[in-house]
Structure 1
Amino acid sequence: MDIQTKHRIYELLTGAFSLGEAYPLSRIAKFLTDADIRSAAYGYPKMRALLEDLPEFLTVTPIMLGQNPQQMITLHTWTDDAPNERSSPEENFFRLVNVPAKSLAVFCNLMGLTEPEARAALEQGYKRAKSEGSLQSEGDNLAYDVGPAHIVLQKSWYAESSQPWHFSFHMQDVPARPAITDTAQTPIQRQHTAKADEHRFTEAERQEIYHVLTGQLPTGEKLHMAAVSKQLADNGYPKERYGFAKMKAFLLALGDMLTLEDQVMGGVPQSLVTIHPQAHWEQPPASQPAAHVGGSEEPPQRMDEAVFLAPKTLAILNAYLTGQEAPPAPAVIDQLRAAYEKARLEGNLEYRNDAYRFPLPFKGLEGGALFAAIKRSNSDYAGASPWYLNFAGPDRFGRAPGKILEQFAFLGAWPSFLEGLAQKALPEPWDFGEGSHKRYHILQKYIQYTFYRLQLEDKVCIAEDKSFAAFNTGLVTPHYDDLYACFEPNDEGAATAWHFVDFCTAAGRGVGKRLVDAFNPLPQPASYFERKEDLLFDLEKELHTDFDHILLDNVSRLPLPFLQEESRGIPAAQAVLEQIQSTDEAAAKRTLYSELSGVIADTPRLYNRLRNRVEDAIELAKKQVRWNFKTAIPCYFPTRNVMSLMLPLSLQYDGRADAALVVELTRSGNYQGQTILTLQQAYLDARLLCRPNSEWLNTEAQGGDALDEEEA
């Protein structure tokens, strides 16, 4: 802000308000707005930020009125000795913009600048963009360019500080990635040199992987690498099968069918993937039938012509049967098709994670049962099969996300592992209530699912000589230093490749120095947020709820007193609820809740009662969000690798939540009420992102029976 404007504001304020007296910020803001002094016109997102840039004649003082933070403005005589006049231009910029140290370090590395040079470049670029009128508005954000870097100042929706903007950036004008054998490599590609045991993809393999990706993921959009990684793993195409240790190297080796872009979002470096349409691959491989069946979401009657049998998935199935990854015998394919048709006819198709799963009539070499699954294809290509075989092999649902960490390394006894982490981390409650059935229960779920997410993001670091491994736990010490989990190679023949050594901080005692010596940059924390819609519930969008899934499939997550109250006058339901209340056995409860679900489905009066109460609770939750946008809590679903929002459901008493409704933003732009969670399940999912600071969700949460905790 120039000195003339400051003098004008000084004259306006001192003409209307007394010096030395404290006034609420809202009163000062209204006065200036009425005088046509608007913060946005001067490059400030909020009036508070503008006022804090006027230290020559006023001070902003935060106070607490009850539980609510307020700011008071006090005018004083103009003095040229204000702190702002003695500060450098860079300090002015960095007072307005929160620039995390990690983001600045990545920016310095990619731009080849020292930290002072980077700070000066950011400040000068911002001032130049403002003066030249080239400061771009991208929705609620501001943007400008510094050389090849596109700087985005993201509006801080939760900020209650004097830094209303948050720094992020990405490198632009990144050329399409050539094949890994091309001599003209980008900086990202130069980080990866193909090793002898890494795979060189044939054209047919690249085409096959392309169809797997585009079967569920859109082309032409920037996707988080975790989503791409999960799609490949779920369909039997993990990077390890091709000899790659890192997902980024695996994707780069696929050539120009996709590009990768490094970007810093929310202070955390991330890799974004864009899949490019390949016109010459519009048809599936000629060896497979390609007749199109209508758009119904019901699974097809038969596999013939309606389901694309990917050769790679079939070869993986053959490897489990014979030990050789090769096309299976025709008899195996016939049995696969027959098994599907039998399961469909008998109603034994299990719908889970958007796929129909069914058992196969043969066992693997190790004697375990084998399964297969088909999934709906999103491909718009003419002639493409509407379904595809997305999995064939051992029960991958037995490898739940929560078990991946234990398959990676030997941790020792869980109580000791968790206690060591809790003692070093910033203190917080890691159990529900006083009588929790497992000590550090919340912490265990947190570290299990965090590791799963890190694996999907390719952020579990392994030293080049494979003598050391580590990951960022996402937790901090009481001094707010990142905590890392460190591992060493396990003995030959052990069940896991690694064993846990210790938790440490960078360059700290013990293994901290080894960590710094082994990795540059240090292991990064998991990242979850990709857009502001992951944080905020938009009340203008419609919300459609799957009531059958809530009231029939997940009735156990509803509070028992609520079910008892609504079941009055319905003896069949009351009898089952009495049995549920009198038993503590989980298996018995599952059976009884299944029986109760049948009673609800067969009793329209009861179903409608429950539905009406849930609908009323949803409407109340939307009113709460309108009053306080923080009511909608972001969460991460490990089993589906998606971000959602949770709304409180007050089913028994207004103002006291009994359960949480999970809502997900669909491609159409509306919300889908996907499922219901107990409050404890909701807390576990929310804690993956940060410690919940909510009026309705905390560790004292009570609710229904969490009989399916892994589903949370």
Structure 2
Amino acid sequence: MIEIMKSERISKIKEIVSISMREDGWTPMSTIGSKLKAHGIDIKDDGFGKLKPFFESLSEYFVIGIDEQSSLPLVKCCDMASTTSISNTKKNSNCYKKEMMHLTQWANINQKSAIETLKNMALPERWTYNVEDENYPSPILAKYLKWTFVKLMKEDKILYSNDYASFNTGLVDKFYKPIYAVFDKNKFNKQPWHFIDFCVAGSSTVAARKLTDNFSHLPERASYIQNYDDVIYDTSLPVDVNWEHIILENIDRMPTELLRQVCFGSFDVLDPSQINDNDKARYYDELRNVLESNPMRLSVISSMMGMAVETAKHRVAWNYKTAIPVYYPTDDSVHLILPLALNINEPEEISIALVMTKTPSGRYRAVTIFTLDMAYSNARLVTKPSSDWLIAESINSL
């Protein structure tokens, strides 16, 4: 029983680390301290005051690194890739462990260059938010590729033949032909595969020839929607929300202005972009304690969010496209998101998105909240959002 509990705990920690992972495969420790605590994992129970020694004690499962720019500690799950050769088969569940694996762990790939190539090849769409960051170009596409690969891995839709591998990106070119990623066996790095290029079948590129020469059946795209009734919001169903849990667990996603209003005079609520990464865990713990110490503050936020949900339901009744399907990697399923307007001074401004799931009993349950950039990225995995409130160029990404 103890071993089972330990295994479940390690799996939960791995999940939290993976969900917060950057595109280079590393997760800043400063971003996960509060998330661990919110999920009932308190490192103090294990005798640790800081995250670095805690993860060092779990060296069997995690690797520690240092950010070259900030000198802050990083962590990632141990490489789960298998170097076993896979021959001419579509599915082989024994070749890769079923833990979450990311593209940069699986293949040697220059992410920045690959994303630029994919953007230029795919049917044009906006892949950046309101403000473009030259150090992190096309963030929507980067997250799309990251989580599409995770989903394909879970669905066993990565194809292997001889010394080649390929997957369907889910994107199309200007002629609506599917774009595939093609890889060959990696001979020099620890990842088992090496990225060759993106291609469409039938073109004259090296990658296209490798694709059609080695795969009789081309890779399928990721599948998200199993039942279309699940992605149409039913406004007649009741909604269950544990607001206290939602607010405290996701305090770092709550609108800054709303927190300032309820904490006025008792806590200096800062703009998240102005907080040093090394101080974020401590800052959010203090903010969480301020809210917990005065139930009235939580009650005010809960009431405002409850009213925002009712407004969102009216909006769905007016336009069913208001409720948008999103893929949620944590439980590998598709949920619906509703827009919540929480700015008293700007009543039409959407602050965050509430993630909803339909229960077997025929009710809706709130799962979590997303910032708008998270909402767009997760929605884009399913399809390009067609909405009057979730618009890439209107989103300010933190």
* Equivalent pair of 1:360/1:370 in contact (CA under 8 Å): no
Judging changes above 3 Å, is the alpha-carbon distance between structure 1 residues 637 and 541 closer, same or farther for their aligned structure 2 residues? same
Residue 690 of structure 1 pairs with residue 383 of structure 2: yes
Output the amino acid matched with 2:370.
Answer: L
3-state DSSP of counterpart to 2:171: strand
Give a deviation string over 1:496-515, Cα, whole Å, max 9, x none. Answer: 11111111001212121321
Compared CA separation, residues 680 and 526, structure 1 to 2 (3 A)? same
| Closer, same or farther: CA 517–582 of 1 in aligned 2, 3 Å | closer
2:303 is the counterpart of 1:612: yes
Please say if 1:634 is aligned against 2:325: yes
1:462 aligns with 2:171: no
SS in 2 for 1:692: coil
Distance change (3 Å), C-alpha of 1:607 and 1:360 = closer
Q: What's 1:514 paired with?
A: 210
Q: Name the structure 2 match of 1:394.
A: 61
* Distance apart, 1:611 and its partner CA: 1.0
Secondary structure at 1:472 match in 2: strand
Contact 2:157 2:222 in 1 (8 A): yes
User: Counterparts of 1:357 and 1:461 in 2: how far apart (Å)?
Assistant: 40
2-side partners of 1:696 and 1:399: how far apart? Answer: 36
Q: Counterparts of 2:347 and 2:100 in 1: how far apart (Å)?
A: 35
- Report the counterpart of residue 557 of structure 1 in structure 2: 253
**Residue of structure 2 in register with 1:478 after alignment:** 174
> In the alignment, which residue of structure 2 is the partner of 1:596?
287
Q: Check conservation: 2:180, 2:200, Cα contact below 8 A.
A: yes
Match of 2:363 in 1: 670
- From 249, 254, 266, give the equivalent of 1:572: 266
Letter aligned with residue 499 of structure 1: H
Partner of 1:420: 117
> Normalising to structure 1: TM-score of the pair?
0.43
Q: Residue 395 of structure 1: CA displacement?
A: 4.3
Q: Based on CA coordinates, which of the two structures has the bigger radius of gyration?
A: 1
Distance 1:433 1:668, change over 3 A: same
Offset, 1:584: 3.9
Higher relative contact order, structure no. (Cα contacts within 8 Å, ≥ 6 residues apart): 2
**Within 1, Cα distance between the matches of 2:203 and 2:56?**
45
Other structure's SS at 1:370 match: coil
Shift of 1:368: 5.6
Give the Cα separation in 1 of the matches to 2:42 and 2:143: 26
Aligned to 1:398, the other structure's residue is in SS state: strand
CA distance in 1, matches of 2:322, 2:315: 7
Q: Distance in 2 between matches of 1:636 and 1:598?
A: 31
Q: What does the per-residue CA deviation read over 1:422-466, in whole Å, with 9 as the maximum and x for residues that have no partner? A: 111111111111343611111111001000100111100110x2x
- Report if aligned partners of 1:679, 1:701 keep a CA contact under 8 Å in 2: no
Cα gap change, 1:627 to 1:582, in 2 (>3 Å): closer
Q: How many Å apart are 1:403 and its aligned residue? A: 5.7
Q: Secondary structure at the match of 2:355?
A: strand
- How far apart in 2 are the matches of 1:650 and 1:405? 36
The number of residues matched between the two structures is 330
Give identity over the alignment, percent: 33
The residue type paired with residue 446 of structure 1 is Y
Q: 1:356 & 1:609 partners in 2: Cα distance?
A: 28
Q: Which amino acid aligns with 2:137?
A: R
Q: Which residue does the alignment assign to 1:410?
A: 108
Alignment counterpart, residue 438 of structure 1, candidates 136, 157, 164: 136
CA contact (8 A) 1:477 1:483 kept: yes
SS of equivalent residue, structure 1 residue 416: helix
Aligned partners of 1:433, 1:409: CA distance in 2, in Å?
Answer: 31
In structure 2, the gaps of 5 or more residues are 9-35, 48-54, 64-74, 79-98
State the shift of 1:402 in Å.
8.1
The answer (yes or no) to whether the contact 1:645–1:664 under 8 Å persists in 2 is yes
Q: Distance in 2 between matches of 1:605 and 1:526?
A: 45
- Matched residue SS, 2:102: helix
Structure 2 residue aligned with 1:651, among 342, 348, 353? 342
Deviation for aligned residue 1:308:
6.2
- Cross-structure match for 1:345: none
Maintained 8 Å contact 2:108/2:189:
no
1:377-403: CA deviation from partner (whole Å, max 9, x where unpaired): xxxxxxxxxxxxxxxx61499349886
Measured in 2, the distance between the counterparts of 1:368 and 1:308 equals 21
Residue deviations 1:7-65, cap 9 Å, x none? xxxxxxxxxxxxxxxxxxxxxxxxxxxxxxxxxxxxxxxxxxxxxxxxxxxxxxxxxxx
1:416: how far off?
1.0
Match of 2:57 among 363, 366, 369: 369
Q: 8 Å contact 1:402–1:445 — kept in the other structure?
A: no
Match of 1:166 in 2: none
The amino acid that maps onto 1:684 is: S
For 1:681, the equivalent position in structure 2 comes to: 374
Question: How far has the Cα of 1:490 moved from its partner?
Answer: 1.0
State the match for 1:256 in structure 2.
Answer: none
1:350 Cα deviation from its structure 2 partner:
5.7
Matching residue of 1:498: 193
The residue identity in structure 2 corresponding to 1:398 is K
Per the alignment, do residues 626 and 561 of structure 1 end up closer, same or farther by CA in structure 2, a change over 3 Å counting? same
Q: How far, CA to CA, are the matches of 2:291 and 2:377 in structure 1?
A: 29
Letter of the 1:560 partner, please give it: T
Task: Give RMSD over aligned pairs.
Answer: 3.1
Amino acid at match of 1:442: I
Aligned-pair distance for 1:516?
Answer: 1.7
Checking the alignment, whether the CA contact within 8 Å between 1:660 and 1:676 is kept in structure 2 is yes
- Structure 1 unmatched runs, 5+: 1-302, 315-348, 362-366, 372-392, 707-712
Tell me the alpha carbon deviations over residues 155-195 of structure 1, each in whole angstroms, 9 at most, x when there is no partner: xxxxxxxxxxxxxxxxxxxxxxxxxxxxxxxxxxxxxxxxx
Tell me if structure 2 keeps the 8 A contact 1:678–1:702.
no
Alpha carbons of structure 1 residues 582 and 523: separation in structure 2 relative to 1, 3 Å: closer
Counterpart of 2:52 in structure 1 is none
Aligned residues of 2:201 and 2:211 also touching (Cα < 8 A): yes
Cα deviation for residue 541 of structure 1 reads 1.5
Change (3 A) 1:580 1:350: closer
1:618-642 residue CA offsets vs partner (Å, 9 max, x unmatched)? 1100111111111000000113212
Q: Distance in 2 between matches of 1:489 and 1:581?
A: 42
How far, CA to CA, are the matches of 1:519 and 1:596 in structure 2? 55
Contact 2:244 2:298 in 1 (8 A): no
Contact 1:580–1:593, Cα closer than 8 Å, also in 2: no
